[in-house]
Amino acid sequence: MTDKKLPSLLGGAMIIAGTAIGAGMLANPTSTAGIWFVGSVGVLLYTWFCMTTSGLMLLEANLHYPTGASFDTIVTDLLGKRWNIVNGLSVAFVLYILTYAYITSGGSITENAINSLGWISISRGTGSLLFCLALAFFVWFSTKAVDRLSTILIGGMIIAFFLSTTGLLTSVSSATLLDSQDTNAPAHLPYLLTALPVCLVSFGFHGNVPSLVKYYNRDGRRVMQSIFIGTFLALFIYILWQMAVQGNLPRREFAPVIAKGGDVAALLEALSKYISTQYIESALSFFAYMAIASSFLGVTLGLFDYIADLFKLSDTPWGRAKTALLTFSPPLLLSIPFPYGFVTAIGYAGLAATLWAAIVPALLVRASRKKFPHATYKVYGGKGMIYFIILFGLLNIFTQLGMQLGWIPSFNG
C-alpha cells in the first residue's frame, strides 16, 4: 500500500495568497499616503512578519485537535467560553464591515461604469444595489457557484494587475516615489502608526489554517511552508502596487481620495491624470472591480455560512434565502447613507481582526504549550515571540482608538 500523495505546496500557497490579496490592497496606497513609499514598505514588512507568525501560532494550536476543528472548538477548550464569545463577535464584525466596504467600492465602480456608457444615469446607491444583488445570487445559489465565479475573477484580476502595473512601473518617477519634489510637504514619521490597521487586514488568511491542516493531512511543515510562500507572494505584490501608485501619483494629490474615504473610483480618477495610455486606466479599473468582487464573494460566503450555523438555518432554497437576507441587508442598507467609507471600514475591520488574527492565536499557543507540552510542530521565537505578537495586536488597537479620539494625527493630503 502506498501513502496518499499530499497536494503540492503551490496549491496551499495560492489559497493563502488568494485570501490575503484582494480589495484590501486597494486601500493600502491611501492608508500609507502619510508615510509614503519607504515607510509603507517598512510597515508592510513588519505586518507581514507578525501576521505570518500569528498564523503559524494558530497552526501549532490547531494540530493538537482533530482534523476540521475550528476557532470555536480550539478557543473554547484553551481559553474558555468567554473568550470564545468575544472571538466570535469579532469574527462576525469583521465579516460584516468588510462586506460593507466592498459594497461601497463595488457600487462606486458600477456607477461610474454604467454612467460612462451614456445610455442611462444611476446613483451611487443604485450602483451598490446592482453590485450586491448580482454577486449575492451566486452566494445564495451554492458554494460551488462561488468557487467557479471566484476562479474566473481571480484569473481576470491577475491578468489586469500585470497589464496595469507593467505600464505604471515603467513610468515611475523617483522624485514622486521618494516624495522629494515638494520641500514643503508634511513629514512622514508622524503618520507611521496610521498605516497599521489597514495593512493588518491585507494579510488576513487565518481562517484558512484549519482548512490547510486538513488539506495537507496534518503535515505541519507543509502547512507552514505554504503559509510562508503565500504571504510572501502577497507582500511582493503589495510592494509592487505601492510602487506603481505612489511612483506616479504625487503625495499631495491624495487629498481628494482621502476626502472620499479612500474610494477606489476616486483613486483611479486621480491616478488617471498621470497615466499616458488609456489601456492602463482601463486595466486598473478592471483590476479594481475583479479584486473587490472576488473579495466580496470570499468574505460573504464565510459570513453566510457563519450565520446559517449560528441560527441553524436550513440548506433549502428558502432557508438560504433567509440566510442571504441576514447576510446582505445590514451592510447594503449601511452603504446608502455612508457611501464613502472604504478605508475607514477596512480600518475598523483591522481593529476587530486584531483580536482573532493576532492576540487570540498568541494566547492559544501559550495555553496549548501548557496543556500539550509535547508538540510535533512549534513556532520559532519561544515565549518572547508570543509577547511580541501580542504587542503587535495591542499597538494596532491603540492606533485605531487613538485615531478616532484624535490622539494620533491623520494625513489629509
Q: Domains in the chain, ordered, with CATH?
A: 24-405 (1.20.1740.10)
What is the predicted pLDDT for the residue at 24?
65
343 contacts 261 by C-beta, under 8 angstroms: yes
Q: Which of 25-29, 111-115, 201-205, 263-267 has the lowest mean pLDDT?
A: 263-267
Cβ count within 10 A of residue 154: 21
Query: Three-state SS for 296?
Result: helix
What is the C-alpha end-to-end distance of the chain, expressed in Å?
65
In the chain, how long is the greatest CA-to-CA distance? Answer: 72
The answer, yes or no, to whether residue 388 has pLDDT greater than 90, is: yes
Cell of 344: 475607514
What is the predicted pLDDT for the residue at 276?
62
> Phi/psi of residue 289, each to 5°?
-65, -45
Q: Which of 54, 28, 52, 26 has the alpha carbon at shortest distance from 292?
A: 26
What is the percent of the chain with per-residue pLDDT over 70, rounded to a whole number? 94
The answer, yes or no, to whether residue 298 has pLDDT greater than 80, is: no
What is the predicted pLDDT for the residue at 79?
94
Most trustworthy range by pLDDT among 164-168, 324-328, 340-344: 324-328
Question: Which residue type occupies 63?
Answer: L
C-alpha–C-alpha distance, residues 102 and 410, integer Å: 23
pLDDT tens for 249-283 read 888 888 888 887 666 667 777 877 777 656 777 78
pTM over 0.85: no
